[in-house]
Amino acid sequence: MKFRLILASLIIAIITVSCIAGYLAYLLMAPKPPVKPIKIGHLADLTGPLAPYGYSHELVLSAAIRKINAEGGIAGRPVELYTEDTETKVPIGVMRLRKLIEYYGVDFVIGSQHSGINIATNPIAKELKTIIFQVGEATETTEKEGNRYVFRINNNVRQQILAGIEFACTRIAKKWVTIVADYAWGWSNEEEFKKFAPTYGAEVLASIRAPLGTKDFLPYLAKIPKEAEGVFYAFFFAEYIALVRDLYAVRPDLKHFAPICAPEGIDVAELGPHVEGAYYLTWFPRSVIEYDSPYIRELRKDVGIDDWGKEIGTGKTLTLSHSWVLWEVMFVLKKAIEETGWKDKADNPKLIKYLEGLELKESYWFPQGDKFIRAEDHQAFMRHFIVKVEKGKFKLIEIVPIEKAIYPPEVDYTKEPF
């Protein structure tokens, strides 16, 4: 009897151990539940007047996400990209933002290059409690038209003017005329240049606006006073080419100064004498002869950009002076998510607070250089570069430190409730 009890106990023990071992083996061998991805929405201008920006932005953003995923994702979670085309139209951009958030359920959005779309989509980001990183440059985007869910890691028009206005008014010309695109970004450039030029003893003699799509600028250039010495313009792509062609025809004496947006995505060597001697303010070097660093070299390699700012394989001149921010936004998000423990949109308040006042140091993640995100208006501040066209190439003239472009905030989003 005693033997039978011992034998039964042994059998029960063996069966129990076998069951436990089998269950453990099942747990080890069973497929693990999928890790929930972090979804990034990109409101890209893939068609329409700003299509070269959309193409370049998507190229850089995809490379950043590819790099992040290859190195384990963000907090161990893979990153998925969802892109919608704005067609460079405000109503379409608004509709596509809602699609990204409400249909695809993206966690974060990187916005359009079009300032009008930025301003129109800012309230939707707040309504749907989704953090958006806008990349257009109208000053208003992070001022009266912004809110606590809106951030901008790149610069804005006011910074650009402050960074370059002293150089323009003391070393280029004293009597200016402005010619800008007739929409939010152009208006912002006109307003800021007129506002700060008198600080350095210069004056704006005339302010001219022309619509996007203008092919013949001669009627507008007829309004330039004879005594004008310099022209400040804010156009891009086809309109820029038409503008400098017509300027060279009727006023080759005028000195040029403009944000890099004007020749962005264009090989200036092809424009010949039309832009020889022109000055531009940029915030990221197109070529290695302007400015170089190990971090910029790594970005070029990972995205597929040659030393002259062209895509390897296609030869397209990219909008690198703008597209760098798509790279940095992704690494800002990686840093913020991993350091705050963000899980989903319920954690947005703590992530927003983390971003408010965040300092970033020049590195592989942030190759543009040191910068900080001001808490009050969610606007980043950074260094700038002044370049000059010489023999069809950009030559670095001056590096403008961060301090030059800082101005007092006009809003304080930190007081805005979530």
Q: Is residue 4 part of a domain?
A: no
Total domains present in the chain: 2
Query: Would you tell me how many other CB atoms lie within 10 Å of the CB of residue 374?
Result: 17
Q: What is the pLDDT of residue 87?
A: 98
Residues 168 and 240 reside in one and the same domain: yes
Q: Are 342 and 358 in contact (CB under 8 A)?
A: no
Q: What is the pLDDT of residue 183?
A: 87
Torsion from C-alpha of 368, 371, 373, 376, nearest 10 degrees: -130
Please tell me the pTM assigned to this model.
0.90
Q: Are 117 and 93 in contact (CB under 8 A)?
A: yes
Q: Which of 239, 260, 282 is the last residue of a domain?
A: 282
Say how far apart CA 106 and CA 101 lie, in whole Å: 5
| CA distances from residue 395 to 121, 250, 328 in whole angstroms, order as listed | 37, 26, 25
CATH label of the domain that carries residue 187: 3.40.50.2300
Q: Running along the chain, 418 residues long, what does each successive block of 10 average in pLDDT?
A: 55 59 54 83 96 98 98 98 98 98 98 96 98 96 97 96 97 98 93 97 98 95 98 96 97 97 95 97 95 96 97 97 98 98 98 98 98 98 98 96 97 97
Say how far apart CA 148 and CA 130 lie, in whole Å: 10
Element (H, E) at 85: strand 79-85
Residues 225 and 266 reside in one and the same domain: yes
Segments forming the whole domain that contains residue 201: 158-282
> Helices marked H in 222-374 — which ranges?
237-250, 294-303, 320-340, 348-355
Residues 91 and 195 reside in one and the same domain: no
